[in-house]
């Protein structure tokens, strides 16, 4: 790798690979202080996507620590949960977030340090900052914990080792033909794997250039695509929908310039949620690109992908990536018969190590090296098509995974709410909209605006319900259990169950 190549172009600067190497060494030296090795101590960090984010992430790794990225949009309650659950030794943040992060760190017994302080560390003092004094980081060490919502009430920390991350990235580099001449436009948050692994991690692994925008902004993305300089772009379906709306609203001259520039990219990808076929088709009309849709998950990185070269089938997520084993199993765990839908299981070197300090959940999710994804798929003419999920309580909104159980638990704290049920309801913008049906306490009232304002202090923005139904009684079965499909029907007059890429969900999905 040439140290003078441009690694990152971002709001906080333009850094070469040499700059990144030096900055991450400073971070490593400062975090280690007087110790030889952080020995897998957790370092939670809240740094906007950019050069400094990459320096902190790499610095944590070089010091022997475990990187725990925090969500920029998260309210203090969510940040505190992650800092405490991961038992972080350090919390790193920009000076501007000191007022929020320092008290969280103190309360959790962690030390707060600013990114500025880490980057100012003096490379000329102490033995700790010389390259040869940095600890040897073996591949089986824990590297990262990403928090993900699931079928437990609170998010779980997904622990990946250096070997896991290396394998996840190597598969993508090979399958998607990453080269040093690539220039990625990154607009995704960096507390989830789509941005961390498919975006930043892949670009840096091949010494390509990663160009980062401060946040998603359709006009700014089009400006960059129109330049013709971007070779790779990856996003979630909601983002493509917004880009299409922005293109549609532009003048004919601007449209032509945008389309011409975008055509010069070599690869545009979609994932994290089902890509509606109409979005794929419209994007192809506008840019000439058939979006490469792939399937992945925090616990495994990416597992299935349409091909780089060859036919990309709309509504399908392709075939296993290099080094990844995928199979479908029936409800008893036996391999599903040909052409029969089953739960997707994934095995390979990219599969995560464990849920952080949750041995029970880890055991339940992994058996004989196979990870149970909870997604239901079928193989048709040699490619996988996703049909839905085994749990009705997992919702995907704008590419973010959220747990109905977690939101219900939060909403039950609301003084006006006696009981509630949260469901995902099909939505053209978000894929699924987090929707809450509530029974109120006697004489209480509640509007959606009031509920959202209250919830915003407690939950990440994408977990805050976007729809509310106040009902005299939630639909329950004879056992008194809330019947989620009937709750969803309260919001969706057609009563249809959630479906992916237009397919009705099979019996495995939608259990209540
Ligand atoms: C923002 N809002 C959302 C939301 N994102 N509500 C529901 N779902 C979401 N995903 C809220 C905002 O807080 C705001 O609320 C209102 O919606 C409008 O906000 P906005 O400014 O228009 O939205 P924006 O901030 O631009 O975010 C939209 C987005 C973002 C699509 C850019 O959601 C996003 O970055 N999604 C990508 C998620 C991602 O990277 N997932 C990968 C997970 S890894 P209010 O009240 O203020 O109006 C994974 C594995 C894999 O899934 O396979 O990749
Ligand atoms: P997360 O747990 O946030 O990593 O999200 C992983 C989940 O996103 C998977 O279990 C799927 O349900 C969903 N997902 C990822 N890619 C796709 C895709 N291409 N189509 C449909 N769902 C997807």
Q: Which of 145, 197, 271 to mutate to test the pocket of ligand 2 (most atoms within 8 A of CB)?
A: 271
Cα distance between residue 28 and residue 210, in whole Å: 22
| Mean predicted confidence (pLDDT) in 117-128 | 71
Q: What's domain 394-494's superfamily in CATH?
A: ANL, C-terminal domain (3.30.300.30)
What is the enclosing helix (H) or strand (E) of 351? none
Q: What CA–CA distances, in Å, run from 187 to 162, 222, 233, 326?
A: 24, 12, 9, 29
17 contacts 28 by C-beta, under 8 angstroms: no
Task: Indicate which atom in ligand 2 lies nearest the CA of residue 149.
Answer: 2
More confident residue, 473 or 498: 473
List the chain domain ranges: 6-135, 394-494
Q: Name residues contacting ligand 2 (CB within 6 A).
A: 148, 193, 271-274, 293, 295-298, 317, 373, 375, 386, 389, 396, 401, 500
Judged against a pLDDT cut of 50, whether residue 131 lies above it is answered with yes
CB atoms within 10 A of CB 256: 12
Q: How far apart are the first and last CA of the chain?
A: 53
The ligand placed nearest to the CA atom of residue 155 is 2
Q: Which of 297, 312, 432 to mutate to test the pocket of ligand 2 (most atoms within 8 A of CB)?
A: 297
Q: How far is the CA of 294 from the centre of ligand 2 (A)?
A: 9
313-357 pLDDT, tens digit per residue, is: 999 999 999 999 999 999 999 999 889 999 999 999 999 999 999
pLDDT band at 495 (very low <50, low <70, confident <90, very high): very low
What is the enclosing helix (H) or strand (E) of 446? none
Judged against a pLDDT cut of 90, whether residue 367 lies above it is answered with yes
Tokens 């040897």 sit on residue:
136
The region of weakest confidence among 116-130, 357-371, 445-459 is 116-130
Residue nearest to atom 6 of ligand 2 (CA): 297
Give 306-312's long-range contacts (Cβ < 8 A, gap of 24+): 306/383, 308/175, 308/176, 308/177, 308/267
Q: How far is the CA of 242 from the centre of ligand 1 (A)?
A: 12
What pLDDT, on a 0 to 100 scale, did the predictor assign at position 126?
56
Cα distance between residue 466 and residue 424, in whole Å: 10
Task: Indicate which atom in ligand 1 lies nearest the CA of residue 433.
Answer: 7
Mean pLDDT of the chain: 93
The reply to whether ligand 1 has any atom less than 6 angstroms from the CB of 189 is yes
Judged against a pLDDT cut of 80, whether residue 129 lies above it is answered with no
Q: Which two tokens stand for residue 153?
A: 């009430």
The reply to whether ligand 1 has any atom less than 6 angstroms from the CB of 296 is yes
Q: Which two tokens stand for residue 482?
A: 């809330």
CB atoms within 10 A of CB 461: 15
Fold of the CATH domain 6-135? Rossmann fold (3.40.50)
Judged against a pLDDT cut of 80, whether residue 35 lies above it is answered with yes
Residue nearest to atom 15 of ligand 1 (CA): 461
The reply to whether ligand 1 has any atom less than 6 angstroms from the CB of 398 is yes
Q: How far is the CA of 36 from the centre of ligand 2 (A)?
A: 39
Per DSSP, the residues of 471-487 read -SS--B-TTS-B-HHHH
What pLDDT, on a 0 to 100 scale, did the predictor assign at position 153?
79
CB atoms within 10 A of CB 206: 16
The reply to whether ligand 1 has any atom less than 6 angstroms from the CB of 386 is no
Q: 412 in helix, strand or coil?
A: coil
Q: How far is the CA of 398 from the centre of ligand 1 (A)?
A: 5
More confident residue, 109 or 150: 109
Judged against a pLDDT cut of 70, whether residue 500 lies above it is answered with no
Residue nearest to atom 15 of ligand 2 (CA): 272
191 contacts 146 by C-beta, under 8 angstroms: yes
| Mean predicted confidence (pLDDT) in 427-432 | 96
**Which ranges of 314-421 does DSSP label H, i.e. alpha helix?**
359-365, 404-411
In sequence order, which residues have a C-beta less than 8 Å from that of residue 286 and are 6 or more positions away? 244, 247, 255, 258, 259, 262
pLDDT band at 125 (very low <50, low <70, confident <90, very high): low
The reply to whether ligand 1 has any atom less than 6 angstroms from the CB of 81 is no
Q: How far is the CA of 125 from the centre of ligand 1 (A)?
A: 44
What pLDDT, on a 0 to 100 scale, did the predictor assign at position 289?
98
Judged against a pLDDT cut of 90, whether residue 504 lies above it is answered with no
Q: How far is the CA of 493 from the centre of ligand 2 (A)?
A: 26
| Mean predicted confidence (pLDDT) in 284-289 | 98
CB atoms within 10 A of CB 300: 26
Judged against a pLDDT cut of 90, whether residue 145 lies above it is answered with yes
Cα distance between residue 254 and residue 395, in whole Å: 36
Cα distance between residue 280 and residue 240, in whole Å: 9
What string of H, E and C letters represents the secondary structure of 191-231? CCHHHHHHHHHHHHHCCCEEEECCCCCHHHHHHHHHCCCCC
Q: 42 in helix, strand or coil?
A: strand
38 contacts 32 by C-beta, under 8 angstroms: yes
pLDDT band at 130 (very low <50, low <70, confident <90, very high): low
What pLDDT, on a 0 to 100 scale, did the predictor assign at position 507?
33
């Amino acid at each position: 790798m040439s140290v003078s190549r441009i690694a990152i172009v971002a709001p906080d600067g333009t850094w070469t690979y040499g700059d990144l190497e030096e900055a991450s060494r400073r971070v490593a030296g400062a975090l280690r202080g007087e110790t030889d090795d952080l020995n897998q101590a957790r370092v939670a960090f809240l740094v906007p996507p950019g050069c400094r984010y990459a320096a902190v992430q790499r610095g944590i790794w070089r010091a022997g620590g475990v990187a725990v990225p925090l969500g920029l949009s998260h309210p203090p309650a969510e940040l505190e949960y992650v800092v405490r659950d991961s038992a972080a030794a350090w919390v790193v943040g920009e000076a501007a977030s000191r007022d929020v992060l320092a008290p969280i760190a103190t309360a959790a017994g962690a030390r707060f340090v600013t990114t500025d302080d880490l980057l100012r560390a003096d490379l000329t003092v102490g033995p700790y900052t010389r390259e040869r004094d940095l600890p040897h980081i073996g591949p089986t060490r824990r590297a990262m914990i990403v928090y993900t919502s699931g079928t437990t009430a609170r998010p779980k920390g997904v622990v990946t080792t250096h070997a896991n991350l290396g394998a996840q990235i190597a598969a993508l580099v090979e399958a998607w033909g990453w080269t040093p001449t690539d220039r990625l436009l990154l607009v995704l948050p960096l507390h989830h794997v789509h941005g961390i692994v498919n975006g930043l991690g892949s670009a840096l692994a091949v010494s390509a250039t990663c160009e980062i925008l401060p946040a998603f902004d359709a006009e700014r993305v089009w400006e960059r695509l129109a330049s013709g300089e971007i070779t790779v772009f990856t996003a979630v379906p909601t983002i493509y929908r917004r880009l299409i709306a922005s293109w549609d609203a532009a003048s004919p001259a601007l449209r032509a310039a945008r389309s011409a520039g975008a055509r010069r990219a070599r690869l545009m990808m979609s994932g994290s949620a089902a890509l509606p076929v109409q979005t794929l088709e419209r994007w192809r009309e506008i840019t000439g690109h058939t979006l490469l849709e792939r399937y992945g998950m925090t616990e495994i990185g990416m597992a299935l992908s349409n091909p780089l070269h060859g036919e990309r089938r709309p509504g399908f997520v392709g075939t296993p990536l290099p080094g990844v084993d995928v199979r479908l199993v029936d409800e008893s765990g036996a391999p599903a018969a040909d052409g029969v839908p089953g739960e997707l299981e994934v095995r390979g070197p990219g599969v995560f190590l464990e849920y952080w300090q949750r041995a029970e959940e880890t055991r339940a999710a992994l058996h004989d090296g196979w990870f149970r994804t909870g997604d239901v798929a079928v193989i048709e003419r040699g490619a996988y098509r996703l049909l839905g999920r085994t749990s009705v309580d997992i919702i995907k909104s704008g590419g973010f995974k959220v747990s109905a159980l977690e939101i219900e638990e939060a909403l039950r704290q609301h003084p006006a709410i006696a009981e509630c049920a949260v469901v995902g309801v099909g939505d053209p913008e978000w894929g699924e909209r987090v929707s809450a049906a509530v029974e109120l306490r006697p004489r209480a009232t509640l509007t959606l605006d009031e509920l959202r304002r209250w919830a915003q202090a407690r939950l990440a923005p994408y977990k805050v319900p976007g729809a509310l139904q106040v009902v005299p009684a939630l639909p329950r079965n004879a056992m008194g259990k809330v019947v989620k499909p009937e709750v969803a029907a309260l919001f969706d007059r057609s009563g249809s169950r959630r479906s992916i890429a237009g397919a009705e969900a099979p019996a495995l999905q939608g259990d209540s």
